[in-house]
Structure 1
Amino acid sequence: MREDMIQITKEMVKIPSINTTEGEKKIGEYIENFIREIPYFKKHPEQVIVRELKNDSLHRRNVIAILLGEKEPNGKTLLFHGHTDTVGLEGYGALENYACDPEQLIQRLEDVELPEEVRKDLRSGDYMFGRGTCDMKDGDAVFLGILKDACEHPEELSGNIVVSFNPVEENLHTGIIEATDILVELKEKYHLSYILGINNDYICPLYPGDEVKTIYIGMVGKLLPCFYIQGKETHVGQCFEGLDASMIAAELVRRIHLNHDFIDEYEGEYTYPPSVLKMKDLKPWYNVQTTGEALVYFNYFVHNATIDAITGKLKKAAEEVMETILERTRREIEWFSAKSGNNISVRDYKCKVMTYEELYEKVRKIKGFSEEEMHRRMEEEVRSGVDKREVPIAMIRYLLHTAGITSPTIVMYYAAPYCPHNTLQEKSEKLIGELRKLTDEMSAEYNVTYRIMRFYPSLSDSSYLNIDDPEESVEALVKNFPGFDTLYPLPLQNIRKLAIPAVNFGGFGKDAHKWTERVNVPYTFELLPKLLQKTIDHYLK
């Protein structure tokens, strides 16, 4: 199958399926056509399910197929799933026209200045370069090759294989989220019991020179905590008479960005700290008035902490930020007053820090509050194309206005996307033992070494196959997520019905999302298929 998988990868890379472009539809069509050409699915066309995403102007689609084992029909099922979109071609520069053509790109790279490690990999002949070669068309190609091979002998399978190819992973995970409808339908129609969900998203060295292959038995969670800041604007000629929202935003970044106080640990594995993803003032044009409003939001990784505990930590940090800003402002006013002889008074702004839930509950009891008006404003923002992360600002403004809150205020809320953390915990020790047995067999038979880690460090569609968060923790998210049902209607019921233990095998590559993206051919197209075949043999034969 090696050459077939390499060829499939090249063909898929040549389809630029960049996130939020028409290429995402085309890659889905390619995969659908490939599966429908397999003789088994010509005989069972109803077992290929293709479904367009809801209200999607690009007509992107999920492509899902089920192979029903015939040796001893039963519900035992392995799910193989992968995403079909890629990030853009930024960074390729003059090589952009070749970024999706591995054969031409590798020739052009010979004439380009390259880092030493990249040059070494290029000359080794062991790597295929190009956008999507590593993340993750190689993994999709391996799944297609494995599926085609398994379809030749369904009579050998005592159980079933479901493959799911999903768009829109690189931003909102819409593909896999909507695919949960289909996975639940298949579960109910064929009485499936999903043993394991295997993603083939890329794996990479954990440090320079690392050749050990990592199997991940869980997925990191992700939150997007946002802070809307209402300041007190003033003319720059009376700068001490206000409180600048941008200054508060900057202090929030200083307090939270890369701060180990917000790292989450589970079983000796640590998340990366929060990273700021956006900081902006909300002034629509230039004038000499200080900033009255600002917004800042962060990527926040989670291993096991509950959302209410995280919310409490972030709110406390915001309270400390407000105290820091007020103290700094007081010191500057005192210094300036002493030097200039102007007797400038320090104002008591009666600053507030609250969560969205706290603000909503406060306003809900006020006469004149209208749930319909608040949602009308949200829907108006959605129709006008405002970014999903910023739509809640209109709702928060309405609540603050209704409550008559005009003092400087920080309101913390959550926005899309939310990726649940999902790992094989103590209850899955048997499954972990079986995976160790499979990797030990691979190490004994082939020149390959594996490590098993709990959390895939990048965001993954596998997060939507199971939720480790208890219901009260998810409820804490929903209450602080303005417009959750409209802006990010996550099918929580579907995910809890599926409850699929999720792992990541993956092709081995380097520099995902960079212009030097590349996949290691010997491991990905020779050893990874053997690991997947062993997994099929163990569970379904």
Structure 2
Amino acid sequence: MSDFLDSREEVLALTKQLVGINSIVNTEGEMVIAHSLYTLLASYPYFANNPQHLVLEQTTDDYYDRYNVLAFVKGTKKPSNRTVILMGHTDTVGVDDFNQLHLYAFQPDEWMEILKEEDIPQTARDHLHSGEWLFGRGALDMKSGLSSHLYLIKYYAEHPEELEGNIVLVAECDEEDSSNGILSALTTLKKWKKEHQFEYVAAINADFVAPRYEGDQNRYVYKGTVGKLLPSFFITGAETHVGAAFEGLDPNFVASELTKQLSYNAALCNEAYGEVTVPPVALKQMDLKPAYDVQTALSVFSYYNFFIHSWSPKDVLELLRKQAETAFQHALQTFENRYKEFCSISGQRFQPISWKPRVITYEEMDDMLIKAHGDTYTVHMDNFKKDLLHVDTLDIRMYAARVVEEAWKWMEDKNPTIILFYSSLYSPRIEITGKTKDEQVLIKALEKAVEDIQPNYEHPIVIKNFYPYISDMSFLALSDDDKDLAPVADNNPSWGSKFFVNYQDIRDLNVPVINIGPYGVDAHKKLERMEMTYSLEVVPNLTNKVIQNVLHKD
């Protein structure tokens, strides 16, 4: 194609440069890569002449010292306020899986030479020797995608006469943990919208894409994204000496039944527009016993990954309340049956159990305690939360568990209970269906771009509705209304103390967002790798065509 950008070598060089910077999330490397990016962009003549178009900004309300880099280019082809946001994250997951070779994770060429002598799966070996794949931490997730955006921002900085409208680059930190980067960047995006009259009509994320099943040759682009919640459970039992096991109820036993009920349960997959989320899986299950003794645990804390396409946080709470009640009932029934069997073989007298399944939300418990104890309770809990903030070892999930544990001490009825709450950030689901004019334009622009590129690429480029992994796409638009969002705050014990998300900032922007990202396999793994032709050539050109199609108005 005559308008096909020759991007491969430059995007590859940028990718290797970025991979070479250790920017593991929640480390000093996030600050280093941001300063490096800023220095790189500042060296371009456009930004040297327009320094106000480039900023290095520290994240707000963040425990770590880290930064975002934001930049924009104003096109001169035709006056227009229409603006496309290009976004990508600078951080990576860790490299513990590389063991003693962890330093090579950031040196792609050296790492690939080492891998030639390693015992690796045949598919990875074939990729390694093909010359078409780049290995290394962040090569796929997502420094090659960010490099594609950097290539385009540089291209239009050099050729603003080819740009009708504007493009904004957001290179944000902390995508792999709590999304502090993009949440901080929202303030600047809103400020620029007002100062420069930017009309944000689309956003393009460049996070990685991967095969969805064995033998899948499709290269996917996504309209919208999956949402993610972290439903959490504080489970209390009835303590007893292990020598009198049936005189109490071990909360670990109930928690095990709950995990059995929730994990891999297809009934908890959310279908929308013919696409289905993966079911929940446990990410943590632990009792809160501080040390060894022969008493059963007082409580257990567990949480589960939960993806959504159309359900709201409110829907999920009600759904999981029923699932927890079922699990609790199963646990008590099994307990009773085993108690009867024990009595039968031991000759002891069976005593019917008095416990009943009880599942309440954190919001319900908090309301009960406020009614029962008033200001005495609320003042105590406010002080407790403030003091707990100084415990550096607690992430927001464990912080939430400790708040629930403290509140439980105020409950007069100490019968075994499951308390359901959220203990982390809600990454909102986004549906892009054509319900607004901007969505209609973006969908049409994407379809036309794929149509133009496909004849020049051997593998099918397939458009899907929901990006299937967690990403910062979630924080540019909202598909939930305020009523459905309310439980996110009301049922999170950390809300307003350990963390807070101003979802109104997202609603104020509400930019339709798609994902066009590099293709590869084994993201977050030792053999993470990116396929070069699609990632370095197709992705920048596909993205560029969407930009042109969106910004051009007949």
TM over 0.5: yes
Aligned to 1:172: 178
Aligned to 1:380: 387
Match of 1:397 among 380, 383, 405: 405
Give per-residue Cα distances to partners, 1:8-56, cap 9 Å, x unaligned.
Answer: 1111111111111111111111110111111110011011121112354
Aligned to 1:25: 31
Rounded to whole Å, the distance in 2 between the matches of 1:223 and 1:57 is: 22
Rounded to whole Å, the distance in 2 between the matches of 1:57 and 1:408 is: 36
1:528 CA displacement: 1.6
Match of 1:442 among 453, 469, 475: 453
Give per-residue Cα distances to partners, 1:463-510, cap 9 Å, x unaligned.
Answer: 000111121100122221123122331121110001010100001111
SS in 2 for 1:65: strand
Aligned to 2:120: 114
Task: Please identify, of 221-230 and 436-445, the stretch whose mean Cα deviation from structure 2 is larger.
Answer: 436-445
Query: Structure 1 pair 540/87, CA: closer, same or farther in 2 (3 Å)?
Result: same
Correspondences of 1:271-350 after superposition (within 5 Å): 271-350=277-356
2:504 corresponds to 1:493: yes
Give the length in aligned residue pairs.
541
Root-mean-square deviation (Å)? 1.6
SS in 2 for 1:91: helix
1:84 CA displacement: 0.4
SS in 1 for 2:524: coil
Which amino acid counterpart does residue 383 of structure 1 have in structure 2? H
- Aligned sequence identity (%): 34
Contact 1:382-1:388 at 8 Å conserved across structures: no
2:472 corresponds to 1:465: no
Task: Please identify, of 239-248 and 319-328, the stretch whose mean Cα deviation from structure 2 is larger.
Answer: 319-328
Aligned to 1:411: 419
Contact 1:180-1:495 at 8 Å conserved across structures: yes
Give per-residue Cα distances to partners, 1:158-191, cap 9 Å, x unaligned.
Answer: 2100000011111111111111111111111111
Aligned to 1:361: 367
Which amino acid counterpart does residue 190 of structure 1 have in structure 2? H
Contact 2:239-2:250 at 8 Å conserved across structures: yes
Rounded to whole Å, the distance in 2 between the matches of 1:198 and 1:36 is: 23
Give per-residue Cα distances to partners, 1:68-94, cap 9 Å, x unaligned.
Answer: 122323210010000001111122234
2:425 corresponds to 1:425: no
Contact 1:375-1:395 at 8 Å conserved across structures: no
Contact 1:351-1:407 at 8 Å conserved across structures: no
Stretches of structure 2 lacking an aligned partner (at least 5 in a row) = 1-6
Task: Please identify, of 530-539 and 104-113, the stretch whose mean Cα deviation from structure 2 is larger.
Answer: 530-539
Contact 1:423-1:502 at 8 Å conserved across structures: no
Rounded to whole Å, the distance in 2 between the matches of 1:133 and 1:404 is: 54
Query: Structure 1 pair 56/267, CA: closer, same or farther in 2 (3 Å)?
Result: closer
Rounded to whole Å, the distance in 2 between the matches of 1:209 and 1:320 is: 38
How high is the TM-score relative to the length of structure 2? 0.95
Correspondences of 1:194-209 after superposition (within 5 Å): 194-209=200-215
Rounded to whole Å, the distance in 1 between the matches of 2:174 and 2:44 is: 26
Aligned to 2:4: none
SS in 1 for 2:373: coil
Rounded to whole Å, the distance in 1 between the matches of 2:314 and 2:511 is: 25
Which amino acid counterpart does residue 45 of structure 1 have in structure 2? P
Rounded to whole Å, the distance in 2 between the matches of 1:176 and 1:6 is: 25
Give per-residue Cα distances to partners, 1:117-158, cap 9 Å, x unaligned.
Answer: 111111110011111111111111111111111111213322
Task: Please identify, of 177-186 and 343-352, the stretch whose mean Cα deviation from structure 2 is larger.
Answer: 343-352
Contact 2:476-2:509 at 8 Å conserved across structures: yes
Rounded to whole Å, the distance in 2 between the matches of 1:196 and 1:61 is: 24
Rounded to whole Å, the distance in 1 between the matches of 2:51 and 2:366 is: 51
Rounded to whole Å, the distance in 1 between the matches of 2:86 and 2:410 is: 50
Match of 1:38 among 40, 44, 51: 44
1:350 CA displacement: 4.8
Rounded to whole Å, the distance in 1 between the matches of 2:384 and 2:413 is: 19
How high is the TM-score relative to the length of structure 1? 0.97
Rounded to whole Å, the distance in 1 between the matches of 2:19 and 2:402 is: 41
Give per-residue Cα distances to partners, 1:190-241, cap 9 Å, x unaligned.
Answer: 1111111101111122233433211100110000000001111100111111
Rounded to whole Å, the distance in 1 between the matches of 2:516 and 2:357 is: 50
Query: Structure 1 pair 372/285, CA: closer, same or farther in 2 (3 Å)?
Result: same
Match of 2:485 among 474, 496, 503: 474
Query: Structure 1 pair 115/218, CA: closer, same or farther in 2 (3 Å)?
Result: same
1:531 CA displacement: 1.2
Contact 2:445-2:546 at 8 Å conserved across structures: no
Aligned to 1:522: 533
Which amino acid counterpart does residue 424 of structure 2 have in structure 1? A
Query: Structure 1 pair 36/265, CA: closer, same or farther in 2 (3 Å)?
Result: same
1:362 CA displacement: 1.6
